[in-house]
A and B are shown apart, each in its own frame.
Chain A
Amino acid sequence: MLLRPISLSLALLLTAAPVAAQTNPTPPAVTQAEPRETIEGTLSQDRTVIAIPALATASAQTVAGLRTDSLGRQIAEVIAADLERSGLYDPMGPSGIPAIGRAEVQAPRFAEWQSRNAENVVHGFVDANGTGGLVVGCYLYDTALGSELVRKGFEIQPGDWRRAAHKCADAIYSRLSGEAPFFDSRVAYIAESGPKGNRIKRLAIMDSDGGNHRFITNGQALAISPRFSPDYKKIVYVSYLNNRVRVFIYDVTSGSQKLVTESGNATFAPRWSPDGTQILYSMAVNGNTDIYRISANGGTPVRLTNTPGIDVGGSFSPDGKKIVFESDRSGGQQVYTMNIDGSNQQRISFGGGRAATPEWSPRGDLIAFTRMGGGEFRIGVMTPSGGGVRMLTNSWQDEAPTWSPNGRVLQFFRTSPGRDGKSSLWQVDLTGVNMRRLPTPQDGSDPSWGPVLP
């Protein structure tokens, strides 16, 4: 996967077929306007209208079987879908609005977009670079101010066009919301099919919007609880291969996998450290489960918990110094924190019901978890000291939250009751609004959201 950010003045120089507007490669002076909205002020209602016409092309060419003009429309569609899914914006186009010419990319007709009630407009281009690749550029403008807010340019292999679209959407989202980007990221999850009593569960991966979906395992062995390594090169997960419960590291590039640790005992519930050098896992010895930490390259595991109760799961704080985990040492499942050497174990969840599957936000400020009570599972968040509990969902069974890279959105899986009960992937904004189901080719569970791609 190659996606090389370039400066857009360079992009314009690289463009294969010059048009009139490009005879002057110096972009117009940039007026940096303040972002018009903040996230807290714009949830659900009063979403910013952004016009996104199809990206222009200098000349329609076919590169690696893809036409630059078609890609211009598809990239605009992905950008619009990303921004719409964020819940903060009301994209317009590319259907139903005028297309733009290549010369307009840096000279928008602001009056026209204003007359269509668009507060912002996105323009861009897709050009062949003459060496089998593409140059994609995108610009965000404020229509009232008539000024450019942000621009991004990428030289890409044609097959990576979706990533260029996500990068453009990320630049737009970050510029307007002030939040860190998150669209250009990937999700590992479990694809489910078959009857409830004998589910086929396969490891699968996809982009954050469901694009570029790929099945990894064939379903012959039960697969559960995957996690992408921070560099996306590996996936740690549990496989029931050979009728045992063991944590494997799957190498996405080579397609091979290896055991995290050799043990006669069941190992499960794996998690990466933020730097990818360590793996947490849980191991049951004679029926008693405790949490261990081991180098991702193997070696001797370090036992972190030592109670007769079930200690299981675990998620590192983003600075890698603490671990949040669950334990039933007090009777039912509750959430605890500890240092990475196992010292200073403290219960942080109190209140009604049980608390499970804690996940530390990449921003460090919150811990997401599953609240169990009254026969229902709900997704909630709390501070690392257990305060400020807020429940975000209310369904029969919502389980196992995972954070977007910027800590603004949570994905989880939702199960329906009954003999035909199924699981599906959902996401919700940190504020509890903008609940959406993620598109997957089969049923889905155990989502795990990775970081923003470089």
Chain B
Amino acid sequence: MTIRKSTAMIAAITMLAVGACAKKAPDTLPPAPEGTGTDTGAGTGTGVVPGSQEDFLASVGAMGDRVFFDYDQYNVDAQDQATLQTQSQWLQRNPAVRVTLEGHADERGTRDYNIALGERRANAAKNYLASLGVDPSRIQVISYGKERPAELGSTEEAYAKNRRAVTVVIGR
């Protein structure tokens, strides 16, 4: 993930939002799909509920809800730390919010091992958030192993995006 890519994504989202405003706005917005921002961001008066998943995604930026890992690794590197610091700032602004950290693996591991590996990754991210002052009791962990790939291809690029820990707001 690069900053340039993130900026482009935000720009695209803003354009979508402008387009949406030109039409009659629905009473309630559909829930955002995981990992994609569909709102214009917090505090812009577009119906984003503070402390919601939409609010979180708008705050942390596109793909800012997840950290990525090397093959069969679970260490949190400098880029992951930056991502998690951004997440922790939002979490500390919304102290009542609880989240799930989903651990995932690419398809090049066996099923049971990958569940264990996803547990390692989700816990590594959780522990880093805790080290930044987020109460760990607010964070529950679930590993999906290789069951829920974000990218469907069988390429190195897809694998790199699937080796991830994703923070998802579950409520208060």
Taking beta carbons and an 8 Å cutoff, which residues of A are in contact with B? 195-199, 201, 222, 224-225, 243-245, 266, 268-269, 282, 284, 286-289, 310, 312-313, 326, 328, 332-333, 356-357, 370, 372, 375, 377, 397, 399-400, 415, 417-421, 445-446
Contacts and interface: CB of A to CB of B under 8 A. Distances in A.
Interface string B117-146: 101101110010000000000000111000
A224 B150 contact: no
A411 to B, nearest CB: 15
A417 to B, nearest CB: 4
A287 B119 contact: yes
Given A196-B149, A266-B142, A357-B112, 19 more contacts: A195-B152, A224-B147, A266-B141, A282-B116, A284-B123, A287-B127, A312-B113, A312-B115, A312-B116, A326-B113, A332-B72, A399-B110, A399-B111, A415-B107, A419-B152, A419-B153, A421-B154, A445-B111, A446-B111
A284 B110 contact: no
Contacts of A313: 112-113
Contacts of A287: 74, 119-120, 122-124, 127, 141
A288 B124 CA distance: 11
B172 interface: no
A184 B5 CA distance: 58
Contacts of B74: 287
Contacts of A282: 112, 116
A310 B110 contact: no
Interface of B: 72, 74, 100, 107-113, 115-117, 119-120, 122-124, 127, 141-143, 147-150, 152-154
Given A199-B147, A243-B142, A332-B72, A357 B119 contact: no
Given A287-B124, A418-B154, A370 B110 contact: yes
A268 B112 contact: yes
7 contacts: A266-B142, A282-B112, A287-B122, A312-B115, A328-B113, A357-B110, A372-B109
A313 B113 CA distance: 8
A326 B116 CA distance: 12
Contacts, number: 96
B115 A400 contact: no
A284 B147 contact: no
Contact of A266 (B109, B115, B149): B115
B164 to A, nearest CB: 13
Nearest to B154: A417
Contact of B111 (A198, A375, A400): A400
Contacts of B116: 268, 282, 284, 289, 310, 312
A289 B122 CA distance: 13
A31 B70 CA distance: 68
B137 to A, nearest CB: 11
Contacts of B143: 245, 266, 284
Given A284-B143, A287-B120, A245 B115 contact: yes
B112 A225 contact: yes
B152 A269 contact: no
Contacts of A419: 152-154
Given A198-B148, A418-B154, A312 B142 contact: no
Contacts of A222: 147
A333 B105 CA distance: 15
Given A282-B112, A286-B123, A310-B120, A196 B152 contact: yes
Contacts of A269: 112, 115
A195 B74 CA distance: 27
Among all A-B residue pairs, the 5 with the closest Cβ atoms: A287-B123, A417-B154, A284-B119, A289-B116, A269-B112
Contacts of B154: 417-419, 421
A377 B117 contact: no
